[in-house]
Structure 1
């Protein structure tokens, strides 16, 4: 991204976004801390923070700034305009009730997976996944299901730009191994995550495909490794997921 001939990033926009990202990581910070961490002048940090506050993006509490709810409106708008959201939401809820596990709907954007909706079953376990979280596609079931059903050139671009960072010792970090793994996913129609994103957690993911066969969305069911094993992991959950995603695909095709 941003590699077009003659392209030059707007530094003031970059700085503003770096401040937003910093406050997300740290929860809150004062001007001095912002300036020190970003390596900019204190006066520059102050002008950016005050401007963002004036626009409603940041909230000042004493000498510190934090993110405001300005982002909530935009995030909700973006999610609701996703064509798959309304079609997938009821099926995600149904799967959570049927499996008693955590179920997610994930889309691909800029080469990463973005969690746009989740539902909890009675025995759901808590992980770092949340609405809006952005995760490398190769690290989790829904992401691998999407990656396997993208055009080969797109897969190559994503791997080149994003790399294969490990989340756990089980994450696939070798390109050749991942390519073979993606071929298996394409053949059987679903992906399995064997503690590749979170230790002790397994998942099954299935893509929601367009008429061309490509996928930019997937649904996954995740739970503790001691529950998601044997036929539950390799037969029961895949059958439920494939039935749900097929129904969503039909509904989208005729909406």
Structure 2
């Protein structure tokens, strides 16, 4: 009887793993769509996913039925309206966004430049909120855009406050990228570099994305002092000579602390 049970258990585990793999592959279809390639044909999707036609058709139909793909003409698809609906739900319910309401606006009023709200997403940083200052350039970092985990003030302050086990996993996967970013050629140097950022409680950078552009960021922390995200601002030294770096840094730190305090206060008992 135990042998039968063992066999059935192994079969169930295998079925679950196979279903999870299939689901992951289906969801990867959504990653094909981009600003430069917003429309994909059925044939192109199947070719890109390297799957059979029957499986490809099943994936596409499932995503279409869920509203995640939208048919724009015969056999061609764009991302679907269901994503817009989910984005609205995030805007209305995301604790980090809710805790930041009014904070970014006050920060922009204080320093006169745009502010962004960032969070870690996989091995990168994602912008989830922003407040634009008047006459802000249109190409500034915006909601929905990603940047490297190891470049920029907003990214590095999050990295410095991630849990130890997560940092170990990141280093194991991306030690070369970490070294290229100047964060350390060994695990111990990497940890020391992040420790210095963590001790300061903020980070000021210059020219990491564009020459002459300053960036300053501070972490948004849980009550265990791990990072949920960061608040960041940037300005060009030639365009904004009126910016007082110390004043901007203090304002960013205060904004991040306010959001952190709101999140802690609103945690369920």
| Same fold at TM > 0.5 | yes
- Does 1:251 pair with 2:262? yes
The Cα offsets for residues 75-125 of structure 1, whole Å up to 9 and x where unpaired, read as 332354332322212111111233232211112344532221101112423
Q: Find the counterpart in structure 1 of residue 203 from structure 2.
A: 191
Q: For residue 40 of structure 2, what is the aligned residue in structure 1?
A: 29
Tell me the number of residue pairs that the alignment of Structure 1 and Structure 2 aligns.
247
The 2-side partners of 1:110 and 1:103 are apart by 22
Aligned to 2:69: 58
The structural deviation recorded for 1:180 is 4.0
Whichever of the two has the greater Rg, that structure is: 2
Match of 1:153 among 165, 172, 176: 165
Gaps of 5+ in 1: none
User: What RMSD in Å do the two structures reach over aligned CA positions?
Assistant: 3.0
Aligned equivalents of 1:249, 1:51: Cα separation in 2: 39
SS in 2 for 1:121: coil
Distance 1:226 1:42, change over 3 A: farther
Stretch moving more, 147-156 or 220-229:
220-229
Q: Aligned in 2, Cα 1:161/1:244: closer, same or farther, shift over 3 Å? A: same
Structure 1 contact 92–103 (Cα < 8 Å) conserved: yes
Which consecutive unaligned segments of at least 5 residues does structure 2 have?
1-12
Moved more, 41-50 or 218-227: 41-50
Q: CA deviation at 1:242?
A: 1.3
Q: Residue 193 of structure 1 aligns to a residue in which SS?
A: strand
Q: What is the CA deviation profile of residues 54-76 of structure 1, one whole-angstrom value per residue up to 9, with x for unaligned ones?
A: 22221112231110121122233
Whether 2:106 is the aligned partner of 1:94: answer yes
